[in-house]
Amino acid sequence: MKRRELLRGAGLAAVATGLAACGAQPGATPAATASDQRFEWKMVTSWPTNFPGLGTGAAKLAAMITAASGGRLTVKVYGAGELVPAFEVFDAVGRGTAEMGHSAAYYWKGKTAAAPFFCAVPFGLNAQEMNGWLYEGGGLALWRELYARFGLVPFPAGNTGVQLAGWFRKPVASLADIKGLKMRIPGLGGEVMSRVGATPVNLPGAEIFSSLQTGAIDAAEWVGPYNDLAFGLHRAAKYCYYPGWQEPGPTLECMVNQAAWESLPQDLKDIVDACCRAINDAMLAEFTARNQQALDVLVREHGVELRQLPDDLMLALRRASDKVLEEIAAGDPFARKVLESMRAFQAQARSWHAVSEEAYYASRG
């Protein structure tokens, strides 16, 4: 496995240049050539090219790495379907078809049960807490341990903040109205929805609007006002519900092929790491600013009905979420370890945020 990846890594467009200009042999000694090696990487993504927030975030990440490295590591972005389909990013980067990918870990729950914990857990951590857990609470180390099995090195690389609960063609007045609904909702949220009587389906973003408009599905959650407006979901379903219990702060991921990663000199590794952290910050800022503008447009210009999910449904969803998480942990020892780490963090985060963020929101209101 390791050797196969190293061989792949050797083909990853690492071309020694620069020193050639002053007469030295490219690749003569690793120490001397490290800073002059050039790398041309492909980044495959699960988003339409330049799709607001997600696609533009991936593009910004690529541009940031290219610029900060002075062009020594150029990253070219491919939208979903351009090089590989949206849901093949994980495999494509694992096998080295592309050196880098931008996606969301919960798409890989079929590959490994613990994957969704590194993106979004129903009633779990919000964006600020995800960052705390990943960077400072052991989360990222667990994520790296898991993805190493697949020849991948993951980095947190974006967050949408709390999402919307979704768009529904008919109003949802109580838990009973959920029964039998066919809803686009991926990850653990979909699992939970199935326990309260809905039929979850997963579709790439680009297919949601037409499915919802034709009635092939009855409801869909996508991201939040910024992205949902861009897809025109308000023209396909009238009722918009909050809060996004299913994705309270989904972390987006940048994944790097392990052999490609190991082929980088240390300063380029540090640049990739810094730029992923930077985009993690920048993307949430973009969603925060654009979501609120888009919400304004949806409510004031398009007359969207913004409603809170009914209490009995929320209670059922919370109970079902606990069961789903417990079942995943029961079936996979690594998932158990991740869940326990996250739960311990969440218990403390709740106590602190009750007297900080929550109490502050209330005091301002």
Question: Between residue 48 and residue 77, which ones bind a second copy under the rule CB under 8 A?
Answer: 64, 67-71
Residue 173 or 274 having the CB closest to a second copy: 274
Q: Does 43 bind a second copy (CB under 8 A)?
A: no
Residues 283-302 that bind a second copy (CB under 8 A): 284-286, 288-293, 295-296
Is residue 107 within 8 Å of residue 187, measured between CB atoms?
Answer: yes
Residues 163-182 that bind a second copy (CB under 8 A): 163-164
For residue 19, what are its two tokens?
A: 């020193």
Which one of 134, 175, 192, 208 is in contact with a second copy (CB under 8 A)? Answer: 134
Q: Does 246 bind a second copy (CB under 8 A)?
A: no
Query: Minimum Å distance from CB 154 to a second copy?
Result: 16
Residue 154 or 248 having the CB closest to a second copy: 248
Which one of 87, 239, 242, 334 is in contact with a second copy (CB under 8 A)? Answer: 242
Enumerate residues 6+ apart whose C-beta is below 8 A from 160: 53, 54, 127, 223, 224, 227, 247, 249, 250, 252, 283, 284, 287
- DSSP string over 177-197: GGTT-EEE--HHHHHHHHHTT
Q: Does 13 bind a second copy (CB under 8 A)?
A: no
184 is in an annotated binding site: yes
| CA 160 from centre of chain | 8
Q: Does 25 bind a second copy (CB under 8 A)?
A: no
What string marks each residue from 308 to 347 as x (binds a second copy by CB under 8 A) or -? Answer: x-----x---x--------------------------x--
The secondary element (H helix, E strand) that includes residue 323 is: helix 311-331
- Identify residue 37 by its one-letter amino acid code: Q
326 is in an annotated binding site: no
Residue 103 or 126 having the CB closest to a second copy: 126
The CA-based angle 191-196-201, given to 5 degrees, is 40
Enumerate residues 6+ apart whose C-beta is below 8 A from 295: 225, 306
Q: Does 216 bind a second copy (CB under 8 A)?
A: no
- DSSP string over 93-124: HHTTSSSEEEEEGGGGTTT-TTGGGGT--TT-
Size of the site for a second copy (CB under 8 A): 82
Report the alpha-carbon distance of residue 281 to residue 275 in Å, rounded: 10
Query: Minimum Å distance from CB 132 to a second copy?
Result: 3
Which one of 278, 332, 337, 341 is in contact with a second copy (CB under 8 A)? Answer: 278
Q: Does 107 bind a second copy (CB under 8 A)?
A: no
For residue 129, what are its two tokens?
A: 């807490």
Which one of 16, 19, 201, 206 is in contact with a second copy (CB under 8 A)? Answer: 19
Strand (E) positions, 205-326? 219-220, 239-242, 251-257, 305-308
Q: Which stretch binds a second copy (CB under 8 A): 9-17, 82-90, 155-163, 197-205?
A: 155-163
Report the alpha-carbon distance of residue 42 to residue 62 in Å, rounded: 9
Which one of 187, 248, 250, 310 is in contact with a second copy (CB under 8 A)? Answer: 248
Query: Minimum Å distance from CB 211 to a second copy?
Result: 25
Which one of 190, 205, 225, 250 is in contact with a second copy (CB under 8 A)? Answer: 225
The CA-based angle 310-315-317, given to 5 degrees, is 95
Query: Minimum Å distance from CB 283 to a second copy?
Result: 10
Report the alpha-carbon distance of residue 148 to residue 141 in Å, rounded: 11
Which one of 23, 29, 30, 31 is in contact with a second copy (CB under 8 A)? Answer: 23
Report the alpha-carbon distance of residue 212 to residue 305 in Å, rounded: 17
- For the annotated binding site for substrate, the residues are 163, 184, 221, 247
Annotated binding site, which residues?
163, 184, 221-222, 247
Binding-site sequence positions for Na(+) = 222
